[in-house]
Structure 1
Amino acid sequence: MANNNIILTETEENDLNVFFQFQLDCEANYLAAFTSKNPNDKNAYLEKYTKHLADPTIHMRTIKVNDVIAGSIAKYVMENEAGITYWIDRKFWGQGIATTALQGFLKVEKVRPIYGRAAFDNYGSQKVLGKCGFVKIGTDKGFANARQTEIEEFIYQLSA
């Protein structure tokens, strides 16, 4: 990772086409767990995320590594609580990119507390949250579209 130049840029509509391709990866989709009902429906994906770009409660950024789109990161609000979500293309896994991107994002996104969630078996995402100061505060269960079953997810919080 030492040679990687990791930057966050404002997400543009064209970036969504790349993000759509990332979420077609079966292994990544499985680990994310809580995904769309039909990850192959590009029109539904683009419609949903194009609306997100215009939503003032959503703060989306594109993660670039050496000028290549490597993922996305966003703050959203659900049930009056700020949450964080990110997705890293699998070819960039294990390089510290998610941690670096989340640390950078949290310097500009000041809403606290902010929550993160990870499937019980998504150890990579759990490690990223922990390295960025999030503390595990509980668990929840929900239907994971990518797995077609209910699973446990861990809830993390960053207070300061």
Structure 2
Amino acid sequence: MQLREVRPSDLDAFFAHQQEPEANLMAAYQARNPSDRAVFDHHWSSILNDESVLVRTIEHEGEVAGSILVFDGAKPEINFWTSTKFWGKGITTSAVDAFLAEFTKRPLTAHVVQDNLGSLKVLERRGFKQVGTEQIFSNARAAVVTEIVLELND
């Protein structure tokens, strides 16, 4: 696993990852129309052109496995997305470790839907602690879900 700068060609893989139903359910995230490439491209253009965002591609054996980023605002927040093809292989764990070594500003927050046990485990094992919960509407689930709010201070 390696983290690297995002290349324009990575966006095709990121778009394909966004189409994975199981990943959308676990993240509880889904664009209103996940197959709308124009909306996806606009969203990623905003991310890549925002100087307050640090974003990396997660690559495994030459293949784009996902992305990881932090919105470095008043309360920096980490987000990551890994294709279902790479789940259960330690790739996300390695990516988070490498990213936390690069982005050292604390506190760092994360939001994870309460039944996304894989992501919760990755973050909690890295020292993130629960500091609250929030109710959000999930397009992927067409329902209100509970997100665990986590924070890393060390």
Q: After TM superposition, is the score higher than 0.5?
A: yes
1:44-87 residue CA offsets vs partner (Å, 9 max, x unmatched): 00111022111111101000111111110000146x21100001
Alignment CA distance shift 1:16-1:22 (3 Å): same
> How many Å separate the matches in 2 of 1:84 and 1:151?
19
- Aligned 1:115-154 pairs, distance under 5 A: 115-154=109-148
Contact 2:128-2:150 within 8 A present in 1 as well: yes
2:30 is paired with a residue whose SS is coil
Mind listing any 5+ residue stretches in structure 2 that lack a counterpart? none
Contact 2:18-2:24 within 8 A present in 1 as well: yes
- Aligned 1:11-160 pairs, distance under 5 A: 11-77=6-72, 80-160=74-154
1:81 is paired with a residue whose SS is coil
Please tell me the root mean square deviation across aligned C-alpha atoms, in Å. Answer: 1.1
Identity %: 36
What residue in structure 2 maps to residue 3 of structure 1?
Answer: none
Mind listing any 5+ residue stretches in structure 1 that lack a counterpart? 1-5
Contact 1:61-1:72 within 8 A present in 2 as well: yes
Contact 1:62-1:69 within 8 A present in 2 as well: yes
Contact 1:13-1:50 within 8 A present in 2 as well: no
Letter in 2 for 1:138: G
Letter in 1 for 2:42: E
Where in structure 1 do 4 or more consecutive aligned residues deviate above 6 Å? none
Contact 2:70-2:79 within 8 A present in 1 as well: yes
Query: For structure 1, which segment, 54-63 or 128-137, has the greater mean C-alpha deviation from structure 2 after superposition?
Result: 128-137
Aligned pair count reads 154
> How many Å separate the matches in 1 of 2:84 and 2:132?
27
Letter in 2 for 1:143: F
Q: What TM-score, normalized by structure 2, do the two folds share?
A: 0.96
2:76 is paired with a residue whose SS is strand
By how many angstroms is 1:35 displaced? 2.7
Q: What TM-score, normalized by structure 1, do the two folds share?
A: 0.92
